[in-house]
Amino acid sequence: MTAALYCGRAMLNTIVLERGISGGELLNTEVIEDYPGFEHILGHELAVKFESHAKKFGAKFVQDTVVTLKKLPDTTFEAVTDSGNLYRAPTAIVTSGGTPIKLNVPGETEYAGKGVSYCAVCDGAFFRGHRIAVIGGGDAAVEEADFLTRYAEKVYLVHRRDELRASKILQKRLFENPKIELIWNTVVERVEADAQGLVNSLRLRNVDTHAESTLTVTGMFVFVGFRPNTGIIEGHVKHDAMGYLETDMNMETSIKGLFAAGDVRVQLTRQVTTAAGDGTTAAIAAEKYLAARRSGNLEPEIAASGGYAV
């Protein structure tokens, strides 16, 4: 939406293709307290403000799911949606984000934002003095468990195996933290909540003995993986081992004229602030790309008229 705002300000005909209500991961975040200028705002409220601001500068929003995005021989981009609509433009900005891998256990979806979280940086401060559980055994889970101890009274790291996959240096830090307790060979069977609909415990199962137990916690942070939504792009585009798109400093991918912003690309952290910054850069870079295209200074590709950004 920030990319759309800046494209609109550059007087480009801008269309945002969104599979659902605008907002992405903002809609899965109950409260945001780390976006400058908003000490406390609901995720969906911030999303509405973003969309309204972009529309003010002329961006058009269409609710349609893109199934493929490819570069045509004439160097324009074509987006095809599952409803059969087709959109073409000289440049495109991919902001399809990523999807946290879920446990798919009862209560996980129902209590998302009410004790279930996928972002320690976003939600950790809400659990000050609480007992919480982190699910996973890789670098992300171990790092976030360590991070959460600055807020929580106690952090349980629940892992389905008898050893962690995280790097040794992260493991050492974890084992030395007195506020963290590891629960090995265990999976979450169910998320339970109190009468107000807030998480109050997890039902666990030992994978070896199959014995079940109850862990009293007010929060569950899931870090079993994050999948970038890059499957829509046809053709080879450079990415890292996890599938995140590689970009240059202008947010341009290895496909000339295709830009990426936000969670979908390789970067250190995935926050609303960094996504907005990426969108700003991508939009300005896309406008310069279009200007070079119109002037015929874009080599070695064929220059073509037009000023659209998808």
> In terms of pLDDT, which residue wins out, 152 or 23?
152
Task: Give one DSSP letter per residue of the chain, joined into a string.
Answer: -HHHHHHHHTT-EEEEEESSSTTGGGGG-SEE--BTTBSSEEHHHHHHHHHHHHHHTT-EEEE--EEEEEE-TTS-EEEEETTS-EEEESBEEE---EEEPP---TTTTTTBTTTEES-HHHHGGGGTT-EEEEE--SHHHHHHHHHHTTT-SEEEEE-SSSS--S-HHHHHHHHT-TTEEEE-SEEEEEEEE-TTS-EEEEEEEETTT--EEEE--SEEEE-S-EEE--TTB-S---B-TT-PBP--TTSB-SSTTEEE-GGGB--S---HHHHHHHHHHHHHHHHHHHHHHHHT---SSPP----EE-
Is pLDDT of 47 > 60?
yes
Calculate the alpha carbon distances from 170 to 87, 167, 174, 180 in Å: 46, 5, 6, 13
Structure confidence at residue 308 (pLDDT): 53
Beta bridge mates, 309: 14, 91
Structure confidence at residue 306 (pLDDT): 45
Is pLDDT of 301 > 80?
no
Q: Stretch 94-100: mean pLDDT, rounded?
A: 91
116-222 matches 2-100+226-309 in CATH topology: yes
Tokens linked to 293: 């295209």
Structure confidence at residue 299 (pLDDT): 59
What amino acid is encoded at 20 in this protein? G
What amino acid is encoded at 77 in this protein? F
Residues 168-223: tens digit of each pLDDT: 999 999 999 999 999 999 999 999 999 999 999 999 999 999 999 999 999 999 99
Structure confidence at residue 34 (pLDDT): 87
* Res. 310 pLDDT band, cuts 50 70 90: low
Q: How far apart are CA 136 and CA 155, in angstroms?
A: 13
What is the sign of the dihedral through the CA atoms of 241, 134, 38 and 100? positive
- Please tell me the least confidently modeled range out of 119-123, 126-130, 173-177: 119-123
Averaged confidence pLDDT in the chain: 92
Cβ within 8 Å of residue 15, ≥6 positions away: 59, 60, 61, 62, 87, 89, 308, 309, 310
Residues 221-264: tens digit of each pLDDT: 999 988 899 999 999 999 998 899 999 999 999 999 999 999 99
* Res. 291 pLDDT band, cuts 50 70 90: very high
Sheet arrangement for strand 199-206: 186-193, 199-206, 212-215
Q: For the domain 116-222, what is the CATH code?
A: 3.50.50.60
Q: How far apart are CA 166 and CA 269, in angstroms?
A: 18
The verdict on whether 7 is a catalytic residue reads no
- Catalytic residue, chosen from 122, 146, 263, 278, is 122
Q: How far apart are CA 16 and CA 12, in angstroms?
A: 12
The verdict on whether 122 is a catalytic residue reads yes
* Res. 153 pLDDT band, cuts 50 70 90: very high
Q: How far apart are CA 247 and CA 234, in angstroms?
A: 17
Is pLDDT of 63 > 90?
yes
CATH topology of domain 2-100+226-309: FAD/NAD(P)-binding domain (3.50.50)
- pTM (2 d.p.): 0.75
- Catalytic residue, chosen from 64, 119, 146, 263, is 119
Structure confidence at residue 302 (pLDDT): 38
Q: Stretch 25-30: mean pLDDT, rounded?
A: 76
Is pLDDT of 8 > 70?
yes
- Catalytic residue, chosen from 7, 64, 123, 263, is 123
Structure confidence at residue 105 (pLDDT): 97
Structure confidence at residue 56 (pLDDT): 97
Beta bridge mates, 94: 260
Per-domain residue ranges for the chain? Answer: 2-100+226-309, 116-222
Q: Stretch 89-111: mean pLDDT, rounded?
A: 95
Q: Stretch 125-136: mean pLDDT, rounded?
A: 97
Tokens linked to 74: 């004439």
